[in-house]
Amino acid sequence: MTPDCASPHLRRARALARLATIALGLTVSCPTLAQDSNLGDCAANEKNTFETCTAPDDALLNAPFFALDWVPLEAVPEALRDRQCLNCGGRYIDPLAEQNTSKPPNDTDIQAHANSTRLQHDEVILTGNATAVQGYRHMRSDNVVIDREQESASLSGNVTLREPNVLLLGDRAQVYSKTGEAIIYNNEFVFHEEHLRGTADMLRRDSDGLIHIHNGNFTYCAPGENDWNVLSEDMEVDLEEGLATAHHARVELEGVPVAYIPWLRLPLDDRRRTGLLWPDFGNDSSGGLDISTPIYLNLAPNYDALYAPRFIEERGLDHQLQLRYLNPLLGEWLAGGAYLKDDSRYRDQSPDDTSTDRWLGVLKQDGLFQERWRSRVDYSKASDVDYLQDLETANISAQRTTSLLQLGSLDYLGDNWLTNLQAQQFQSLANDIDKDYESLPQLTTQYRGSGTPFALQPILLAQYSNFGAQEEVVTGQRLYGEAGVDYPMMWRFGSLKPTLKYRQLNYQLNDGEFFADNSLGGGQYFSD
């Protein structure tokens, strides 16, 4: 289980880890040289420049090339126009998106090409549109000098480094294989999947494998737009531990600083760690200043907790807790709650005899045992009808806004029969409705046909319900049944399913003020 807490800062840190991997991971070895290589046609030269040899996906092939791989909306293929693309007026399209990443680049020889190459003592000099491919890692620059004795390489002029989902541009780079050190200067980067771009003065990997990023600047805005930016003077990235530490980070809106954080540690991968999550800030007319600081607790591999104290200026301190538990026999469980003692603003609005303590409880479960028994619990209850309107709780989802579902369900999945037993009711959150109808319990048995085409399929269903509500409305029991056959017909060009069935519905109602006969019912034939 991994908490859904990937804030923009967390995603930026993960993206910087991939940036360091491509930018500083190219192994220097003696390349295969190809003098005066023709870089024209992909069909004629399989080791052609990666800018023109894109993935085989039709949508990618139809996408034109733009700076930083940004494609305006009008030029994005229809298949790639998701919600983010529509909102942003375009998207980044990666020409290496379909590359095979199962084999590490360092296990692959480097294939190098240039307009001209020459050997000078222990140096290999590639001049003019020099390119190198090492597995799914690609490099290009105007000039490359490889020192075979020192096992180092110098790249200068229009340096471009690529991996799937990563584009890195820079002025020059140095790579030292003996020590593992590498430096890239004045770089600009793009992470296609995260819709993220940024710049850095320098990226350096030291001999211990730590990545140092100097003067980093990143944003989700499209190229040419800089509505907001996050800047960090110094960031250390530990790929082995999966952690990044940012020093002197600040957030800017339209170039104006709005927040400063002297020290910030961020995870780079999906490994769970106990620690503070990014706080939430808000301000509205229903409570004033609203600040929440979640704390994640990694208790064990199969259970964890999230505690989020929430200060609401005009109401008080709201304690929110969410617990998750996973068991192969008992399934997935989520228990959550929130408690606000003596809501000061609610006290002014409620009658004198009403408690001003506000709370919400949520219990959810999904389980499947031996592929036969399936269970589900979805239960939510609030202290009062105004709770969700006044205290919308982001860390504990109750989903409904007009009523809260309270459901328990158990299914038996037989080879030919499906049997379901459930109890269901609702807590109304409307002032003019005290209680909705409830089914306590409801038992359903249904025949599960094979669905074989061009064969008669029986239809058999029986359902018993005991429904109730307030005494002044009709309550009682209901028995419903279906019997019949259908004949599914399926062809490549379409399908048709004629159906003939009989429905029977009977009620046994409790004594009511507006009717004399407690037994109602009847049947009807249907055909489709």
DSSP code string of 394-444: SSS----SSEEEEEEEEEEE-SSEEEEEEEEEEEE--TT-S---EEEEEEE
Amino acid at 387: Y
Question: What is the model's pLDDT at position 27?
Answer: 42
- 473 class by beta-carbon count within 10 Å (0-12 exposed, 13-18 middle, 19+ buried): exposed
What is the dihedral angle through the alpha carbons of 51, 57, 62, 67, rounded to the nearest 10 degrees?
-30
Decide: helix, strand or coil at residue 87: helix
Of 190, 39, 163, the residue nearest 96 (C-alpha) = 163
- CA gyration radius for the chain? 32
Decide: helix, strand or coil at residue 94: coil
Q: Helix %, strand %, coil % for the chain, to 5? A: 10, 55, 40
d(CA 130, CA 155): 9
Other CB atoms within a 10 A radius of the CB of residue 128 amount to 13
Question: What is the model's pLDDT at position 51?
Answer: 33
Question: What is the model's pLDDT at position 256?
Answer: 86
Q: What is the pLDDT along the chain (528 residues), one digit of tens a residue?
A: 444 444 444 555 455 444 444 444 444 443 433 333 332 333 323 333 333 333 334 554 454 557 788 988 888 888 888 887 888 888 888 888 888 888 877 777 778 788 988 888 888 888 898 888 878 878 889 998 888 887 788 889 988 888 887 788 889 988 886 776 778 898 888 878 777 788 889 888 787 878 788 998 877 788 888 777 888 888 887 867 777 788 888 888 888 888 888 887 777 667 888 888 877 877 777 788 888 889 999 999 999 999 999 999 889 999 999 999 999 888 999 999 999 998 888 887 777 777 889 999 999 999 999 889 999 999 999 998 888 888 876 656 555 567 888 999 999 999 899 999 999 988 888 776 666 667 789 999 999 888 889 999 999 999 999 987 655 667 788 999 999 999 999 998 999 999 999 999 998 887 665 555 566 666 666 666
d(CA 65, CA 77): 12
Q: Which helix (H) or strand (E) holds 254?
A: none
d(CA 466, CA 437): 10
> Three-state secondary structure along 481-509?
EEEEEECCEEECCEEECCEEEEEEEEEEE
d(CA 11, CA 196): 9
Question: What is the model's pLDDT at position 311?
Answer: 92
d(CA 401, CA 496): 40
Decide: helix, strand or coil at residue 23: helix
Q: Which helix (H) or strand (E) holds 468?
A: strand 457-468
Question: What is the model's pLDDT at position 2?
Answer: 40
Q: What angle (nearest 5°) sits at the alpha carbon of residue 219, between those of residues 213 and 220?
A: 135
d(CA 25, CA 182): 8
Question: What is the model's pLDDT at position 48?
Answer: 30
Question: What is the model's pLDDT at position 269?
Answer: 64
Helix ranges (DSSP H) in 25-71:
58-61
Could you give phi then psi for residue 72, rounded to 5 degrees? -60, 155
Question: The tokens 């939430």 sit on which residue?
Answer: 280
Other CB atoms within a 10 A radius of the CB of residue 55 amount to 16
d(CA 493, CA 411): 36
Could you give phi then psi for residue 88, rounded to 5 degrees? -95, -5
Question: What is the model's pLDDT at position 346?
Answer: 85
Q: CB of 505 within 8 A of CB of 478?
A: yes
